[in-house]
Amino acid sequence: MAYNTLTLLFDGPVATLTIQRPEVLNALNRNVLAELRAAVAEVSATPSCRCMVITGAGPKSFVAGADIAEMSAMTREEAVTFARDGQAAFDDLEALPIPVIAAVNGFALGGGCELVLACDVVYAAQNALFGQPEVKLGVIPGFGGTARLIRAIGRKSAMEWILGGDTYPAAEALRLGLVQKVLPADDLMPQAMELARKIASRAPLAVALAKRLVLGATDVCCRDALEAEAQAFSALFGTVDQKEGMEAFLKRRPPVFVGS
């Protein structure tokens, strides 16, 4: 389908979603959030898609935040709807059964940082900047920052980021574990696509189950997470891909996974 504020391209098993509002540093408004949900639904409904990369248009910004011009005129009732729309969009993204890689090519502030937090793996350009500066505007994170940032960098670092409202370079985000790799700008998308293609080559049922288990483990005790892992592990035995993967290993040939 056609979108006005983003592009969604499929290249074999890999989708690339680009936020396309470079004139406002790809800021998130109501339209972007609605189209993001639609694009995620399209990806989810595309059986051949096994991984997605999300990035921002232009060299300056991944997503600079929510659209302040739009927010400044909101009533309290409109604001709670806006927050819930953002949370729903990012929940949809996180819940995708395929992995999502964020390729952060500049500012990832406020809602942009929260978008990063909803992704599974984060690669950043050396010039990327992260932060939750909402307190400088008299508000707080509204798209999941207070919940997800704790899980990404720990409670005390999350407190420092959210209460101080400062921005942090990619190297600091890497040190804290929010980012997995920092790269020269020219290498960002090639490296992100390389990882996406690698993930797409793996057994899709196993990848989807592994992602679901890792996400679910943050909300349950370790013993329950281990039992869920054992059940999911055994559920893959007898699938076509399990037999293919092990046979290919024993015969020393590349596996061909079909997702069943």
CATH number at residue 243: 1.10.12.10
Catalytic residue, chosen from 23, 134, 160, 194, is: 134
| 134 has catalytic annotation | yes
Select the more confidently predicted residue: 8 or 234: 8
Determine the Cα–Cα distance for residues 101 and 49; give it in Å rounded to an integer.
13
Domain range enclosing 24 = 6-200
Sheet containing 51-56: order of strands: 6-11, 14-19, 51-56, 100-104, 121-125, 181-183
Do 183 and 234 reside in the same domain of the chain? no
Percent of the chain with pLDDT over 90: 89
Do 217 and 239 reside in the same domain of the chain? yes
pLDDT of residue 110: 97
Average pLDDT over residues 31-44: 98
Distances (CA, A) of 249 to 108, 135, 219, 237, 241: 41, 53, 35, 15, 12
pLDDT tens column, 154-187: 999 999 999 999 999 999 999 999 999 999 999 9
Distances (CA, A) of 88 to 36, 47, 81, 206: 10, 22, 10, 26
Tell whether 259 is covered by a domain.
Answer: no
Distances (CA, A) of 43 to 48, 50, 53, 196: 9, 9, 11, 14
Determine the Cα–Cα distance for residues 39 and 46; give it in Å rounded to an integer.
11
Q: Angle at the Cα of 156 (from 150 to 160), degrees rounded to 5? A: 95
For the entire predicted model, the pTM comes to 0.93
pLDDT of residue 84: 96
pLDDT tens column, 98-125: 999 999 999 999 999 999 999 999 999 9
Catalytic residue, chosen from 114, 172, 194, 244, is: 114
Do 142 and 23 reside in the same domain of the chain? yes
Residue 249's H or E segment, with its range, is helix 240-251
Q: How many domains does the chain have?
A: 2
Residue 63's H or E segment, with its range, is strand 61-63
| 35 has catalytic annotation | no
pLDDT tens column, 199-251: 999 999 999 999 999 999 888 888 888 888 888 888 889 899 999 999 998 99
Last residue of one domain, picked from the residues 161, 177, 200: 200
- β-pairing, 129-131 vs 100-104, is unpaired
